[in-house]
């Protein structure tokens, strides 16, 4: 008996010794961080008169429909969101139409090829990224992410190799294991440098210190004195999908030097308006935080914590100097069709907590506070977009054809893919019970592939748009 | 949404790009749509034009704020 206890004590001491040794070796093991702008220096501000993309135009793309501005937001929801986004984009690709360019050339195109901006959150961030990598990427992405058991691959990596390092290192966390997996096995190590100018990609995470959106743009990285070009796409997707508790936040470096914000007219203007305008106040707060270089690290979690559908990205473009705003004001080719597509893979499994006197357990509370309440906020943003579209079209009604910028504008199209819109109750119930995970069965994928094209094509505003496109 | 029309002082017919907060956005003499009301810096993309800080509010597409920029 005494010998057995001695053996147990020996094993415990040996394990503690191994753990101590691993901690000594790995506790300072660093992940791959974003790189400083060292040697490259901050870019000078773009010359206002020679930047067509800043006017919402990409004249170097001859097959672009100059009269349309198409913006797509893809929600979070793990593999379900990626699968819904994938099928919705493929359905848009199947909607063919032709347009006549200003030089009289007839171009055969489709709705998906005319997408100007894609915003993605969490699971939606992966498919948004894949879409921006080009047509060839979609089939590859389907095999590598949508049809794959990513959860198993993640569990494998967390229990071996780098996962063991993550258990003992302070800076290298579990999210870094996930980021390396996505970087290596989903996006082939590609960085933001390979993305085209159009479509514009907006990947969102949440800055935990501010409770604010963090968007992976060159402007945001410039605020960190860092270069977005070197940053891996897989890492940005990992940050966007770092759901709290399940995965740690992903960390970025905030490098000196501070910028002279007094030279930035947008910042100065926002500061003047901050008292009356909450959005401007938040912009100022964010810029000030990044410019305070004692904040050496930026910790990012799932983008869904502040906007689970990416709709704030679309709302931003209605602001002064936003893409929609500039496009309306660009008179060489007046805007005719503003098309906003909200691909919402949100689900609402039945909540039966009201049937019992017992308070809801932790999973139910997490669901209610982090997911359900956020869905309500996202729905409000979708309503805000509707209001903005109405304001835009009201201006058109007011000025009629007298202002060239509004002369051809049609009523903006707000198209939604949302399981809530499924007419058949049994099909809707089945959709609402799809899991939020990084793994779907082939039956679940087949189900998504069947319902998403119907939802998209049957949306009343899509019906209207298709009728217009066929004219 | 707010609306402005920007002209060059003493040269109302001049066509040039308008700079809103330093970014090109619209053309002189044409209706320009802005976002929410508030202060913006407005100038014209021509040499020697002076930037103005303007509080744009309570405008409509049919009653935009008229702004003259001094480029003398």
**Nearest residue, CB atoms, B30 vs list A320, A396, A405:** A405
Between CA A232 and CA A179 the distance in angstroms is 9
Strands A106-110 and B2-8: unpaired
A400 burial level (CB within 10 Å; 0-12, 13-18, 19+)? exposed
**Nearest residue, CB atoms, B41 vs list A51, A265, A405:** A265
- From chain A, pick out residues whose CB is under 8 angstroms from the CB of B34: 320, 325
Kindly report each contact of residues A383-387 with a partner whose C-beta sits within 8 Å and lies 24 or more positions away, as own/partner: A384/A311, A384/A315, A385/A311, A385/A314, A385/A315, A385/A340, A385/A342, A385/A414, A386/A414
- From chain B, pick out residues whose CB is under 8 angstroms from the CB of A318: 1, 35
List residues of A whose CB lies inside 8 A of any B CB.
45, 48-49, 51, 54-55, 265-266, 268-269, 272-273, 276-277, 279-280, 318-322, 325-326, 328-331, 388, 391-392, 394-396, 398-399, 403-406
Residue A95: CB atoms within 10 A of its CB come to: 18
Interchain proximity B20–A320, CB inside 8 Å: yes
Between CA A79 and CA A237 the distance in angstroms is 13
Structure tokens at A466: 């298709």
User: Is B65's Cβ below 8 Å from some Cβ in A?
Assistant: no
- From chain A, pick out residues whose CB is under 8 angstroms from the CB of B26: 329-331
Residues A402, A464, A422, A311, Cα dihedral to 10°:
-30
- The pLDDT score that the predictor gives to residue A40 is 60
The answer for A212, left when phi > 0, alpha when psi is -120 to 50, beta otherwise, is: beta
Between CA A186 and CA A350 the distance in angstroms is 33
Tens-binned pLDDT, residue by residue, of chain A (471 aa): 677 888 888 888 888 888 888 777 777 788 989 999 876 655 555 445 446 665 566 656 667 888 899 999 999 999 999 999 999 999 999 999 999 887 788 999 999 999 999 999 999 999 999 999 988 899 999 999 999 999 999 999 999 888 888 888 888 989 999 999 999 999 999 999 999 888 999 999 999 999 999 999 999 999 999 999 999 999 999 999 998 888 899 999 999 999 999 999 999 999 999 999 999 999 999 999 999 999 999 999 999 888 888 999 999 999 999 999 999 998 777 899 999 999 999 988 777 788 888 888 877 777 777 777 778 888 899 999 999 999 999 999 999 878 888 999 999 999 999 999 999 999 999 999 999 999 999 999 999 999 999 999 999 999 999 999 988
pTM over 0.90: yes
- From chain B, pick out residues whose CB is under 8 angstroms from the CB of A54: 23-24
Proportion of chain A in helix, strand, coil states, percent, rounded to 5: 50, 15, 35
pLDDT tens digits for A4-47?
A: 888 888 888 888 888 888 777 777 788 989 999 876 655 555 44
> Residues 21-60, chain B: which have Cβ within 8 Å of A?
21-27, 30-41, 45, 53, 60
Q: Closest Cα of chain A to B27: distance in Å? A: 8
Structure tokens at A94: 């199947």
Structure tokens at A210: 């501010």
A301: β partners: A206
pLDDT tens digits for B17-69?
A: 999 999 999 999 999 999 999 999 999 999 999 999 999 999 999 999 999 99
């Amino acid at each position: 008996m005494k010998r057995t206890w001695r053996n147990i004590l020996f094993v415990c001491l040996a394990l503690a010794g191994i753990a101590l040794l691993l901690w000594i070796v790995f506790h300072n093991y660093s992940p791959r961080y974003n790189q400083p702008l060292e040697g490259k220096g901050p870019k000078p501000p773009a010359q206002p008169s020679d930047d067509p993309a800043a006017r919402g135009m990409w004249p170097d793309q001859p097959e672009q429909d100059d009269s349309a501005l198409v913006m797509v937001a893809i929600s979070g929801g793990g593999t379900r969101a990626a699968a819904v986004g994938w099928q919705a984009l493929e359905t848009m690709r199947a909607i063919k139409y032709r347009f006549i360019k200003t030089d009289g050339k007839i171009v055969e195109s489709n709705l998906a090829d005319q997408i100007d901006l894609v915003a993605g959150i969490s699971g939606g961030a992966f498919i948004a990224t894949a879409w921006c990598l080009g047509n060839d990427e979609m089939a590859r992405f389907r095999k590598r992410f949508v049809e794959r058991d990513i959860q198993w691959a993640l569990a494998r990596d967390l229990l071996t190799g780098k996962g063991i390092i993550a258990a003992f290192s302070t800076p290298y966390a579990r999210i870094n294991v996930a980021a390396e997996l996505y970087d290596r096995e989903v996006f082939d190590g590609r960085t933001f440098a390979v993305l085209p100018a159009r479509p514009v990609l907006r990947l969102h995470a949440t800055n935990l210190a501010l409770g604010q959106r963090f968007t992976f743009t060159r402007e945001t990285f410039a605020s960190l004195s860092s270069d977005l070009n070197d940053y891996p796409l897989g890492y940005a997707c990992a940050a966007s999908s770092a759901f709290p508790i399940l995965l740690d936040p992903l960390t970025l470096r905030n490098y000196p030097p501070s910028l002279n914000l007094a030279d930035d007219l947008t910042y100065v203007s926002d500061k003047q308006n901050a008292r009356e305008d909450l959005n401007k106040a938040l912009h100022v707060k964010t810029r000030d935080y990044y410019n305070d270089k004692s904040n050496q690290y930026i910790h990012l979690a799932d983008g869904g914590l502040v906007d689970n559908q990416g709709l704030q990205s679309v709302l931003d473009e209605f602001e002064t100097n936003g893409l929609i705003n500039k496009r309306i004001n660009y008179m060489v080719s007046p805007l005719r069709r503003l098309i906003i597509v909200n691909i919402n893979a949100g689900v609402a499994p039945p909540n039966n907590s009201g049937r019992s006197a017992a308070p809801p357990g932790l999973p139910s509370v997490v669901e209610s506070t982090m997911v359900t309440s956020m869905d309500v906020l996202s729905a409000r943003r979708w309503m805000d977009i509707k209001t903005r579209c109405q304001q835009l079209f009201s201006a058109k009604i007011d000025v009629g054809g007298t202002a060239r910028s509004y002369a051809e504008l049609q009523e903006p199209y707000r198209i939604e893919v949302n399981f809530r819109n499924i007419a058949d109750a049994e099909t809707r119930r089945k959709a609402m019970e799809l899991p939020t995970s990084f793994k779907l069965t082939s039956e679940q994928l087949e189900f998504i592939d069947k319902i998403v094209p119907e939802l998209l094509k049957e949306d009343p505003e899509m019906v209207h748009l298709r009728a217009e496109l066929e004219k | 949404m707010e609306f402005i029309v920007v002209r060059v002082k003493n040269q109302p017919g001049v066509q040039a790009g308008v700079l809103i907060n330093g970014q090109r956005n619209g053309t002189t003499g044409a209706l320009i749509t802005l976002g929410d009301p508030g202060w913006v810096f407005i100038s014209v993309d021509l040499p020697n034009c002076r930037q103005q800080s303007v509080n744009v509010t309570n405008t409509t597409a049919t009653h935009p704020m008229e702004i003259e920029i001094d480029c003398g």
